[in-house]
Chains A and B, each alone.
Chain A
Amino acid sequence: MDRDLVEQAQLGDREAFGILARTRADRLYAIGQRILRDVDRAEDAMQQALVIAWRELPRLRDPDRFDAWLNRLLVNACYAEARRRRDWGANIRLLPVDGPLVEDGTRQIADRDELDRGFRRLPPEQRAILVLHHYIGLSPEEVAETLGIPAGTARSRLHYAHRAMRAALEAVARSAAIAGQGIS
């Protein structure tokens, strides 16, 4: 059914594309919001992805790949949105982080605020690969296909993104500890 809609939309059927857009908008928005951590920007990225999808749809070679292709457009719209506004956290140079973040198994690894600050420190490419893997549930190979990169690159990026997130959380925890010492 969706393949038919995509093929009709490829021939210029706006009504068919409207159905596709309505049924994908929530997912695109949810992915965009998680990458950008901002409602307005996520809406802009979703709109940008849908407009580009409509404009470029005749070039899509396989209608069955529509959703993966749309995800890629959304991710790239998020990159453009993030770079346009240039206020995500500064890229961080990573040091090896081998030890666990927790001293015992009962303590929460990081509260939501720490996670949020840590995640915002990551560049958009790392946020995107984490969202595709942890939120959408794509395997590294599926992430590779979605982003159009070699599978090895996707695995490496995912590994790096995990390390970056751990390092970011450590940095947030250290900042909090220093701030706490300053207060007392």
Chain B
Amino acid sequence: MTSRIDIERVLDGYLAEGPERVADPALLRALDAIDQTKQRRDLFAPWRFNQMVIYPRLAAVALVAVIAVGGAMYMLGQRNPVGVPAPTASPVVPTQAPSAAAAQVTAGPVDTSLWSPFKSAFYGYTVKYPGGGWIQGPAAGHWDYATQDGADADTLWSPTGWPDFNAFETKLPAGMTGDEFLREFTADAVIHACYPQPAAWTHTTVDGHPATIAYAGCNEHFYFAQAAVVIGKRIWIFNLDGPDRSLIVPFLSTVTIDPSAVVD
């Protein structure tokens, strides 16, 4: 315990030292680079709704109202004899402006044929990931469930770091089934981290093996999908961190698992 306290104190001091200000030429270079860069615009990016000025929006609502009222009057005029008062048209409810969440797009069919291969050094699986600046972050060692320690997951980072795909594998504790492990492994998350109950998990297959996928997320900033594959006494966990959680499906479609290739 002493060593843990010491290392934290030492790191506090060590990392407090160092430069705090960037040199002006470096900042100017960065600003120049920004000037030469175009912003990326998506069809469904929220800015489009922000950018839509109020008058065209009102005009659109008014146009809908006019058409609805006019259409209703026309139809009623056709059906009602002269002298019979026509009922008033129902009030038109403006369509709710699309929210950012509603603009979320799903991955849909994704062509993975040109994706780059990644082979795990420790966990006995391969996967493919998109090109275009994604970088590999291989684990430095094998994750160990018993100590919640060990190196890390393999991580494949998108150019912006969001989303990322990460994976690891571990032996099931003695006497524990895959389902029991998953329930225990996710119990804390179910309570505290907006993780769905097992009944809400999706069942699928990965490389021919039965698998579950849980789509989790606490809020619009924190999404992830987590897939689990149990083969014999081992379990593989694949995570897709990012707003478009359905992206986990094309990743999983490229996964191959070879339990004999695991390096414990």
Contacts and interface: CB of A to CB of B under 8 A. Distances in A.
A10 B27 contact: no
B34 A14 contact: yes
Contacts of A65: 221
Contacts of B163: 148
B73 to A, nearest CB: 41
B12 A134 contact: yes
Contacts, number: 197
A169 B4 CA distance: 13
A33 B19 contact: yes
A83 B135 contact: yes
A69 to B, nearest CB: 8
B66 interface: no
Contact of B149 (A29, A72, A110, A160): A160
B63 interface: no
B239 interface: yes
Chain A binding surface SS class: helix
A104 B77 CA distance: 98
Interface string A129-171: 0110011000000000101111111001101101101100100
Contacts of A46: 22, 26, 30
A131 B19 contact: no
Contact of B30 (A51, A72, A157): A51
Nearest to A37: B18
Contact of B29 (A12, A26, A47, A131): A47
A50 B30 CA distance: 7
B34 A54 contact: yes
Interface residues of A, number: 80
Interface in B5-28: 6-8, 10-12, 14-23, 26-27
A75 B161 contact: yes
B58 interface: no
Given A47-B33, A50-B30, A162-B8, A73 B193 contact: no
Interface of B: 2-4, 6-8, 10-12, 14-23, 26-27, 29-31, 33-35, 37-42, 45-47, 50-51, 100, 135-137, 140-141, 148-153, 155, 157, 159-164, 166, 188-189, 192-193, 220-222, 224, 239, 241-243
**Which 4 pairs show the lowest CB-CB distances between chains A and B?**
A76-B161, A29-B22, A91-B140, A47-B30
5 contacts: A43-B29, A76-B157, A156-B148, A159-B148, A163-B149
Interface of A: 7, 10-12, 14, 17-18, 21-22, 25-26, 28-30, 33-34, 39, 43, 46-47, 50-52, 54-59, 61-62, 65, 68-69, 72-73, 75-76, 79-80, 83, 91-94, 97-102, 109-110, 112, 115, 119, 123, 125-126, 130-131, 134-135, 145, 147-153, 156-157, 159-160, 162-163, 165-166, 169
